Structure 1
Amino acid sequence: MPELPEVEVCRQGIEPHVLNQTVDKVIVRNQQMRWPVSEDIDEVQGEEILAVERRAKYLLLKTVKGTLLLHLGMSGTIRVIDKAFPLKKHDHFDLVITTGKALRLNDPRRFGAILWLKGDVSAHPLLSALGPEPLTDNFPQGYLYEKSRNKSVPIKTFLMNNHIVVGVGNIYANESLFQAGIRPTTPAGKISRKRYDALTLIVKDVLAKAIKQGGTTLKDFTQSDGKPGYFAQELQVYGRGGEDCVVCGSTLKEIKQGGRATVYCSKCQAR
Structure 2
Amino acid sequence: MPELPEVETIRRTLLHLILGKKIQSVSVFWPKIIKLPLEVEQFTDALIGQTIEDIGRRGKFLVFYTDVYALVSHLRMEGRYTVEQSDEPVDKHTHVIFHFTDRTELRYRDVRKFGTMHLFRKGDEFHSLPLAQLGPEPLEDTFDINEFKRKLASKKRNIKSVLLDQTVLVGLGNIYVDEALFKARIHPERMAQSLSDPEIHVLFESIVETLSEAVKKGGSTVRTYVNSQGEMGMFQLEHNVYGRKGEDCKVCGTELIKTVVGGRGTVFCPNCQNLKA
The normalised TM-score by structure 1 is 0.95
- Given that 2:160 and 2:262 are in contact with CA atoms closer than 8 Å, whether structure 1 keeps it comes out as no
Is 1:85 the equivalent of 2:88?
A: yes
Distance 1:207 1:159, change over 3 A: same
| 1:206 counterpart letter in structure 2 | T
Match of 1:198 in 2: 202
Is 1:165 the equivalent of 2:169?
A: yes
- Given that 1:140 and 1:200 are in contact with CA atoms closer than 8 Å, whether structure 2 keeps it comes out as no
Match of 2:242 in 1: 238
Match of 2:3 in 1: 3
Alpha-carbon distance in 2 for matches of 1:212, 1:194: 27
Match of 1:40 in 2: 42
| 1:188 counterpart letter in structure 2 | A
Deviation, 1:233, is: 0.6
Alpha-carbon distance in 2 for matches of 1:148, 1:115: 31
Deviation, 1:90, is: 0.5
| 1:30 counterpart letter in structure 2 | W
Q: 1:178 aligns with which of 176, 182, 206?
A: 182
Q: 2:60 aligns with which of 54, 57, 62?
A: 57
Match of 1:75 in 2: 78
SS of the residue aligned with 1:70?
strand
Match of 2:111 in 1: 108
C-alpha offsets along residues 235-266 of structure 1, whole Å, 9 cap, x if unaligned?
01011112211111111111111221111111
- Given that 1:72 and 1:113 are in contact with CA atoms closer than 8 Å, whether structure 2 keeps it comes out as yes
- Given that 1:215 and 1:231 are in contact with CA atoms closer than 8 Å, whether structure 2 keeps it comes out as yes
| 1:93 counterpart letter in structure 2 | V
Farther-moved stretch of structure 1 (56-65 vs 234-243)? 56-65
Alpha-carbon distance in 2 for matches of 1:115, 1:44: 12
SS of the residue aligned with 1:40?
helix
| 1:175 counterpart letter in structure 2 | E
SS of the residue aligned with 1:32?
helix
Deviation, 1:140, is: 2.4
Unpaired runs of at least 5, structure 2: none
Is 1:12 the equivalent of 2:15?
A: no
CA RMSD between the two structures: 1.5
Farther-moved stretch of structure 1 (235-244 vs 63-72)? 63-72
| 2:68 counterpart letter in structure 1 | K
Match of 1:133 in 2: 137
Deviation, 1:150, is: 4.0
| 2:94 counterpart letter in structure 1 | D
Farther-moved stretch of structure 1 (256-265 vs 125-134)? 256-265
| 2:87 counterpart letter in structure 1 | A
